[in-house]
Structure 1
Amino acid sequence: MKRIALVIATIVLVACKEKKTTSIVQKEGVETSEAIELEVYDFRGLEKMLSTQSDTTYVVNFWATWCKPCVKELPYFEQLRSNYKEKNVELLLVSLDFPAKYESKLKPFIKEHNLQSNVVALDDPDMNTWIPKVDENWSGAIPATLIFNKTERKFFEKSFTYNELETELKPFLN
């Protein structure tokens, strides 16, 4: 009976103050390689990823599966990741999906769209505190993108075409 209860369970939550990881416990007969692990952070945990002292340039996109402009531009971020991975560029997709939708919407979306970029979820309801820490002029609207390295930082509250995204990235690489 205990084993059946374990097999039926669908969520395992490992929590700490800064980072929570959720993964699907697979039902009997389903390959465990099908599981999608999702790192979930509060802003304090995510904030460490929004600065660097290395030579890497980071592109951080704030998005959600329910945001049509966000979904429309995701392929451009994936293409940018592919085209610039050898040029010391890292991509981070920060999902603002609601925690109750991680299993039913976010994880299936990641799998269906075969997202190769690092995807994390931000679960911090105190948005009035963390939004201005990302950028003091951010209204909170998405899509929003932050591009930064150790010497420069630029924030965009807009959606991108691939060419626009690449144009904004290139000055960071010089």
Structure 2
Amino acid sequence: MRYFRFIALFLFFLSFSTKAQDLITFQNFDELNTYIQNNSEKPLVVNFWATWCAPCVKELPYFQKLHQENANVKVVTVSLDFDKQVASKLKPFLKKKNYTFVTTYMADKKFNNWISKVDENWSGSIPATWIINGNKGIFVEQEFASFEELNQFVNESLTKLN
């Protein structure tokens, strides 16, 4: 009977788990790139952002809506938050917002070692978005002003990448 109560209690607390607890951490770009290669069943929309970046936070709901409404793509966000803020700021933010897209965290803060692997012209500014279809990609450093603008950009990019 005690075992049953323990299982019931465990399941009760498990029901409160959040997407933020499922945060995938990449120690370096090679790990992120491997993840991308292993998740190529449909085109990816990869958004680079941070909680300290106001334009990034402003556009995240557009990526959530894209995730929910555009079945042609998989949305993956890559947080570039500071290490010290993952537990105190990033995870609480994600829990509060309850985003359902894939949330990842790039631990490698030696940006100059890997940003050119995403795009040779990337200055390192965020927000930035990378549309990947197979071995082709389109990259932009920009804030999207609306869901409609983001969705149109994604759909036009997919047309160009086909």
- The bucket for the TM-score relative to the shorter chain is 0.7 to 0.9
Asked if 1 retains the 8 angstrom alpha-carbon contact of 2:66 and 2:147, the reply is yes
Query: How far does the alpha carbon of each residue in 1:99-137 deviate from its partner, in whole angstroms, 9 at most, with x for none?
Result: 111111011100111111000100002211100001000
Query: Which structure's relative contact order is higher, taking Cα pairs within 8 Å and 6+ residues apart?
Result: 2
From 129, 143, 150, the counterpart of 1:145: 129
Asked if 2 retains the 8 angstrom alpha-carbon contact of 1:55 and 1:149, the reply is no
Distance 1:52 1:113, change over 3 A: same
Asked if 1 retains the 8 angstrom alpha-carbon contact of 2:56 and 2:126, the reply is yes
Asked if 2 retains the 8 angstrom alpha-carbon contact of 1:51 and 1:148, the reply is no
Cα distance in 2 for partners of 1:60, 1:137 equals: 17
Q: Which protein has the bigger helix share?
A: 2
From 49, 63, 82, the counterpart of 1:63: 49
Cα distance in 2 for partners of 1:128, 1:158 equals: 19
With normalisation by structure 1, the TM-score equals 0.75
Return 5+ residue gaps in structure 2 as ranges: 1-11
State the identity %: 43
Which residue identity lines up with residue 70 of structure 1 in the other structure? C
The CA RMSD measured in Å over matched residues stands at: 2.1
From 102, 120, 131, the counterpart of 1:136: 120
Distance 1:167 1:145, change over 3 A: same
Which residue identity lines up with residue 59 of structure 1 in the other structure? V
- 1:145 aligns to what SS in structure 2? strand
From 24, 27, 33, the counterpart of 1:39: 24
Return 5+ residue gaps in structure 1 as ranges: 1-29
Correspondences of 1:1-174 after superposition (within 5 Å): 31-32=13-14, 33-34=16-17, 36-42=21-27, 43-51=29-37, 54=40, 56-85=42-71, 87=72, 89-150=73-134, 152-160=136-144, 161-171=146-156, 172=158
- 1:31 aligns to what SS in structure 2? helix
